[in-house]
Every structure is written in structure tokens, then in C-alpha cells.
Amino acid sequence: MKTVYVGMSGGVDSSVSAALLKDAGYKVVGVYMKNWSKNLPGMKCPWAEDLADAKRVAVKLGIDFKVFDFENDYKQKVVDYMLDEYKKGNTPNPDIMCNQEIKFKLFAETAFEDGADFIATGHYAKTENGELLRAKDENKDQTYFLYRVTADVLKRTIFPVGDMLKPDVKKLATKYGLSNAYKKESMGVCFVGEANMKDFLNEFIDIKPGVIIELETGKKLGFHDGAILYTIGQRHGLNVGSGLPYYVAKKDIEKNIVYVSKNLNTDNLWVTEIPLKDIFLRKKPSSKNILVRLRHRAALLPAKFDGEKIIFEKPVKRIAAGQSVVFYEDEVCLGGGIITE
Amino acid sequence: MLYLDHAAATPTSKKALKAMEPYFADQFFNPSAPYISANHVRQDYEEAKDEIAHAIGAKGADLVMTSGATESINLAFNILEPDAEVLISAVEHKSVVEAAKKINCKTINVDKFGRVLIDDFKKKLSSKTQFVSVCLASGELGTIQPISEIAAIIKDEVLRRKLAGETTPLYFHCDASQGIGILEAKVGRLGVDLLTINSAKVYGPKGVGALYVGHNVKLKPMTVGGGQEMGLRSGTENVPGVIGFAAAIKDAEEHLNAERKRLEKLKTILKNELKDISGIMFLGNPKYQLANFVPISVPGVDAERIIFALENEEVYLSTGAACSASKGIKSATLTAIGLDDAAIAGSLRITMGKLNDEENIKKAGELIKSTITSEQSRN
């Protein structure tokens, strides 16, 4: 009997994943990864409740359950990386880093050492022979977050819900009697989320206020909380009066200045080329013409990849440096890279 | 539902609910307001305090009403300067432990049943000790503490200091949150200066408690303002809460002996159901234990799994305090009685009460036994 360690968050996807694997005849061990437990002002970290939920599901399924404590590693490899990127003025994606460093590296290594033949997670993605493939549920596909996971680990990874539609997963949860046990969606970088990112950063970085300047006129329009908190293209959260909305068009991190514009067509907001760094190529594209995804759940766009940058025929809205562009050919995720200035 | 966690919370009794009801909307007046209707509320409130005080052999004026045991305990400890020497038992509730941590605190050891070792107490009691805090009964084991014995030793020390002309004060506080309503606890007989009681454990509403303050104790308020509760706890009085507490504790006092006998019988039935579980240990002192407590440990079993498995059968019980093996938090009480990690991880606290009768306790016993047995065979 093969042993599979399932990363369990207490959410429906990982809960059903564990149930499906048990039904398929695996010896299943549920694992809660304890990555973060600190409360922050206005943010109660729900780790203890999440752990209890995950364990509750494990008990319901009659499977073993373990807790892997990755708190120090998560802080170093994910949070510190995230903070460094923000300090540089970039907008990092901690979920991608978490998958690369924690879930599909540290968790995998720890599980294999502990006797696992495979690991599994509740991600919506498919894998074959180390390749990463888009999920059946196009709406839920999470390959954007997984493009940097190595083929070696994927060869020993199972995504039990990757071939399913979310509504069917929920039906299965009811069938397995888990509907009372599992909790609501578990999302992204732990409990922070976009809305709380500013508070989170404030806790760890000394953020200084600065001025907002109109790009075209050089006119001082007001003050901002700190340039690193703003993302190019951002429209909300600028206290610069009424009328047509302003967009963040440029940031000067060194001088702590945010430049804004009312002109949605300003060159700063649109690009035809996106230069990349830290490119992680899972598979060589068969031609220069590929499909790219600029953010999770965004539409696949046709583009050219020349080995260093992505080139579009028509301009696309600028994406903040630090975010990822992920490449596809048909169903196959080819890899991707991180947007640089 | 088979509820076996009465030490954590009790359902508010119908009597208490009924008594409280008028004071939410009809008799809503601020007891400090000058008109006659408000004066009536004041009278009802003071009568309720008298009733609560009566249950512990005190007068209404001896009580400071609080938001619960935790506040009472914090208020009691507030009498101390940060450098004061304090002794607490090794089986205290978190709120005592945390309050004592702020001060120069030593722990009195307990025996393997969780009962304070009088010799260790005598050894640690010094001429500098200003405060001693020991619970009436341990919240995890139900072990009843030798309160009057400790009080007698303290009284001797107080007299010795007086005769020697020493001015260091010495107070004895007892957290009676567990035990009230099951055990007779009169302040005179116990010999305490300060006593904490809690409504939520005696079928009263949550968010209400009291601190008995002996006449020799010069307490300092934590909350200042309008000067309510003799200036020791300002803030508009929780009239419905206190009325409900009074109704509940009065009811408990009236049925104290009958209820204790009933619970003892249920305990015998339950222990009989559980005794054949492989490896089971019954924790606490069989002689000095609250009638409603059946703490057990089955080493090798993960108690949290048992709790989650039993909740599917609508059987609700818990581990000792807010401790859990998987969260890496170990019970201080169970450590103090010398249990090893496996025994701590396998420990469950079953606490019975009004929601239990012979029939459902037997059923609960069967379900607990079968759940533990099936968990043991899974490994």
C-alpha cells in the first residue's frame, strides 16, 4: 500500500482530496503545515482553528494526522522575501514563493523522509510525468501559483481535485459527510490578504509618508502613506480629491514619491514588452508563440517569448514588478518569470 | 446531545433566565439614577448581591461584582506591588498563573493527585510572603484543596508577624470557580481573605462573577470612574447578570447535598463503564474530588481525536484547560502531577452536571469507550 501525505488546511479542497485518496486505497496521512501563528493588530491569525478543522476532517476520515511546524522557514523564505521585495518597491507574490519553498519543497522533503511515497494537496492543477497542466476547472486553475514547483517533486505529487469542477468537489464533501467539518475557503498568503497588506507591512517595515505628484504637471496633489504600498495602475486609496480618478503611474522609491495620472492612456500604464528575471522554464516552448497569464485567473493572452522578455502585439496594462508572468502551450504550463523594471 | 463539559460552561437555568428577564427592558433603569423606579432596581440589585453572598456565608457589602472569575482574580492580585512575594499552587487556572507572573511568584508543589503538599507550603511560606492563592478545586482534576488547613497556617503566620511587630501583610485568596454549587464553600469556615466565584459555572449567565473581600483587606481598584461597588469596580452595574447569578446560586445552594449525591452516583456509573478501557487511568484524588469530575487519561491515544470523533455522536467533552497536544501547549496541572507526554496527550476531562442523568451517562460511557477502543485499534 502506497503512503500519501496530504497537506490539509481544513478547507474543502484538501479535505475532499484526502477522502478521495483514502477511497483510492492509499494509506493517507493528513498534515497541517503550521506556517504562521502570530496575531497582528486587527488580524487574528486563525491557525489554531484551521488546525482543529483539518484534524476534525482527518478524524472523520479515520486517517492519521500530523502537524509540521514550518514557522521559522516560512518567515525566512516567504515573509522576509516578501518584505525585501516591497522595500525595493516591487509587488511580490508570496503564494508562488510559498509553493516553491514550503509546500512543494520543505513539506515534500519532510513527508518523503517521514515515509511518504507521494504528497498531495488540494490545488486545482494536474500533473503528468513531472509536467504541470492546467486544471479541468478553468475558473479555479491554480497553475499560476505553481509554475516554479520542480518536476522532481511533481513526479511524486497528486492533485486529487485537479480533474474536477469545484461544484462537484463540494458535492463530494457532502457525500463524504465532511460538509460540517470543513471550513470556508483557505486563501493565499495565510490570513493577510490584499486588504490587510498595508497593516502587515507596517508591522515589519518602517514606512514613511511622502508626496503624490501629478505625472504630467509636476503638481503636488497630496500625501501618501509610503511609496512601497502603492502598485502601478492602482486607482484606489489615493487621497487626491474628486473628479476623474487618478492612477498610480510611476513610483520613485528612493525619493518616496508616487506619481499619478488621470490619463489612462499614459505610456506608463501600458506596455507591449514585459522584461523578466528569474525565469523558470519547465519545458521548452515549441515556438516563440505562447500563451501567457499575467495574474491568477486572468485570461490567457497570446504573446511571444524571446528568452528574456514577453512581447505583445497590442499594448497590455502594465503589471507591477515582482509579479509573475506564467507561460502556457495548450494545457501545459511551460514555466514563467518574474517581472522586472 | 450528551454534554459532559460542565466545568467549562453550564446552561443558564430557567429560574435564572426568568429572574433576569424583567431587568433587560422593563426594569432597565440605572440603579444610580435618582427616581424611585431606579431605586427599586437598586434594591433588587443589592438583594441579589446579598443572596450571592449568602451562598458563601458573607454579606452583600463584602462582594465586588465583576465580569467573571478572571476579573475577580486580577482584582485580587491588584492589591500587590510588583516586588511582592506570592505563593500559588501548581494546579491553578491560567488567570491566576498569569496574574502571579507579574509578581515575584513561587509555586507550591502538589501530590500525584494534584493536592497541595502542606509541607511544601510551610517550607515556602516566608516572613516576606504577602499573598497565597490556592483554588478550591483544580479545574482539570477536580481535586479539592485543603483550604482551611492552609488558612490555619496563614493565620498563625499573621499572628506571629503581629506579635513580632512585623508590618508585612499576608492575604489568602481562593479561586472557587470550580466547586461552587457542588461543594459547600463558606468564607468563614474556609478562612480566606479573598474568594473568587463565577456565575457561568453554576447555571447562571456568563460575564458575571464576584470577589469576596474580607474586612481586613485594603483592595485597590483596577477600574475607576463613577465609584460603584464601593469604588472598587466602577461602571454601571450589570443588573440582569447579577440577578441571574443570584437566582442560579440560590438554586444550587438549596439542592447542594442532593445534587452532590446524584453526581456521585453518576460518577460511579460512568467509571464502571470506562474502567475496562485498555490502559485507562482515572486521574485526581478519589477521596478529595468534586462529585462531577471524571478526569481520565489513556496514554497512547490522542485525546483531541477522541473529542472530534465523539462530537459526531453529539458527545461533548474536553481536554483539561485550553490545552492541546497538536498546538504544542502542555497542561501545567498534568505536568505537575507527574504525567508523561503520552499520558498528557491522552487525557480527557469529563465533567457532569444537570444535563446528565443515569441513562445518558451510561450511554455516554458506552460511546466514549467504543470511540477510544476503535481509536486504539486504528494504530
CATH number, domain with residue A328: 2.40.30.10
> If you measure CA to CA, which chain B residue comes closest to A49?
B327
Surface-to-core class of residue B312, CB atoms within 10 Å of its CB (0-12 exposed, 13-18 middle, 19+ buried): middle
| Residue indicated by cell numbers 495548450 | A330
Q: What is the CATH number of domain B14-254?
A: 3.40.640.10
- pLDDT, tens only, A3-16: 999 999 989 999 99
Q: Exactly one of A28, A154, A178, A190 is catalytic; name it.
A: A190
Cα three-residue angle B175-B177-B181, rounded to 5 degrees: 125
Q: At what angle do helices A12-23 and A166-175 cross, to 10 degrees?
A: 60
Q: Is the per-residue pLDDT at B321 higher than 70?
A: no
Alpha-carbon distance of A267 to A249, in angstroms, equals 9
* Mean model confidence pLDDT for chain B: 95
Question: Does residue B261 register a pLDDT over 50?
Answer: yes
Give, in degrees to the nearest 5, the angle at Cα B199 between B233 and B144.
Answer: 110
Every domain of chain B and the residues it spans: 2-10+257-378, 14-254
Query: CA of B261, closest CA in chain A: separation in Å?
Result: 36
- Per-residue pLDDT tens digits for B140-175: 999 999 999 999 999 999 999 999 999 999 999 999
Q: What is the reported pLDDT for B326? A: 62
Domain-located, residue A57: yes
Distance of alpha carbon B53 from the chain centroid: 16
The region of weakest confidence among A181-195, A230-244, B200-214 is: A181-195
Active site residue A190: yes
Give which of B344, B348, B354 is closest to B371, Cα–Cα.
Answer: B348
The reply to whether residue A55 touches residue B326, judged by beta carbons under 8 angstroms, is yes
CA distance B182 to B196: 15
Cβ distance A59 to B309 less than 8 Å, yes or no, reads: yes
Is A60 at the interface with chain B, CB within 8 A? yes
**Does A148 score more than 80 pLDDT?**
yes
Instruction: Please state the rounded mean pLDDT for residues B210-239.
Output: 96
B173-209 residue pLDDT tens: 999 999 999 999 999 999 999 999 999 999 999 999 9
Band of residue A233 on the pLDDT scale cut at 50, 70, 90: confident
Residue A231: pLDDT band (50, 70, 90) is confident
In total, chain B counts a number of residues equal to: 379
Per-residue pLDDT of B120-139, as tens digits, reads 999 999 999 999 999 999 99
The answer to whether residue B105 is catalytic is no
Interface test with A, best of B306, B310, B312 (most A CBs within 10 A): B312
How far is B135 from B146, CA to CA, in rounded Å? 9
pLDDT at B295 (0 to 100): 97
Give the closest-approach CA distance of B309 to chain A in angstroms.
6
Does the distance separating the beta carbons of A51 and B309 come in below 8 Å? no
CATH number at residue A224: 2.30.30.280
Instruction: Determine the average pLDDT of the residues in B22-40.
Output: 97
Asked if the B2-10+257-378 domain carries CATH number 3.90.1150.10, the reply is yes
**Whole-angstrom distance, CA of residue B206 vs CA of residue A209:** 46
In chain A, residues with a C-beta closer than 8 Å to the C-beta of B304 are: 52, 55
**Are A74 and A186 found together in one domain?**
yes
Say yes or no for a CB contact (<8 Å) between A59 and B308. Answer: yes
Cβ–Cβ gap B308/A48 under 8 Å: no
Residue B323 clears pLDDT 80, i.e. is over it: no
Catalytic residue among A98, A133, A146, A173: A98
Q: State yes or no: pLDDT of A129 exceeds 90.
A: yes
Same structural domain, A21 and A146: yes
Q: Rounded CA gap, A67 and A152, in Å? A: 24
Angstrom distances, CA of residue A178 to CA of A181, B21, B85, B302, B312: 5, 39, 52, 21, 11
ipTM attached to this prediction? 0.85
Contact B218/A at CB under 8 A: no
B316 and A CB contact within 8 Å? no
Between chain A and chain B, how many beta carbons pairs sit less than 8 Å apart?
A: 25
Handedness of CA B62, B65, B69, B71 (dihedral sign): negative
Q: What is the pLDDT at residue A307?
A: 92
Helix residue ranges, H only, chain A: 12-23, 47-61, 71-74, 80-87, 94-98, 107-113, 143-146, 151-154, 166-175, 193-204
**Which residue of A lies nearest to B306 if distances are taken between CA atoms?**
A59
Decide which of B343 and B379 is more confident. B343
Is A54 near chain B, with CB under 8 Å?
A: no
Is residue A321 domain-resident?
A: yes
To probe the interface with B, which of A56, A59, A70, A183 has the most B CB atoms within 10 Å? Answer: A59
pLDDT (mean) for A166-174: 94
pLDDT at B378: 83
Residues A180 and A301 in one domain: no
Q: In B191-339, where does DSSP find H-type helix? A: 239-254, 256-274, 303-311, 332-336
Least confident of A130-139, A218-227, B241-250: A218-227
Please give the span between the terminal C-alpha atoms of chain B, in angstroms, as a whole number: 29
- Report the pLDDT value the prediction gives residue A188, as an integer from 0 to 100: 42
Asked if A65 has any chain B CB less than 8 Å from its own CB, the reply is yes
Would you list the DSSP string of A260-271? EES-TT-GGGEE
Q: Does residue A200 belong to any structural domain of this protein?
A: no
Q: How much of chain B, in percent, has pLDDT values that exceed 70?
A: 97
Cα–Cα distance between A44 and A62 in angstroms, integer?
30
B308 touches chain A (CB under 8 A): yes
- Asked, for residue A58, whether it belongs to a domain, the answer is yes
Which of A181-185, A207-211, B99-103, B280-284 comes out lowest in average pLDDT? A181-185
Q: Is residue A121 part of a domain?
A: yes
Question: Could you say which of B312, B327, B378 has the minimum Cβ distance to residue A51?
Answer: B327
A42 and A156 inside one domain: yes
A255: containing domain: 207-261
Number of domains in chain A: 3
One domain, residues A18 and A149 = yes
- A151 and A39 housed in the same domain: yes
Which of A261, A286, A303 delimits the end of a domain?
A261
| A27 touching chain B per CB within 8 A | no
Query: Which residues touch A212 (CB under 8 Å, ≥6 apart)?
Result: A220, A221, A222, A223, A224, A238, A240, A257, A258, A259, A260
Say what percent of chain B tops pLDDT 90.
94
Residues 320-359 of B with CB under 8 A from A: 324, 326-328
* Residues on chain A touching B371 (C-beta within 8 angstroms): none
The strand ranges marked E within chain B are 2-3, 63-66, 85-89, 104-108, 129-133, 171-175, 194-198, 209-213, 281-282, 293-297, 315-316, 347-351
Whole-number pLDDT of residue A45: 77
Length of chain A measured in residues: 341
**Among candidates B309, B351, B315, B345, which has minimal Cα distance to B329?**
B345
Task: Report the chain B residue with the minimal C-alpha distance to residue A61.
Answer: B309
Q: Are residues A241 and A114 in the same domain?
A: no
The answer to the question of residue A202 being in a domain is no
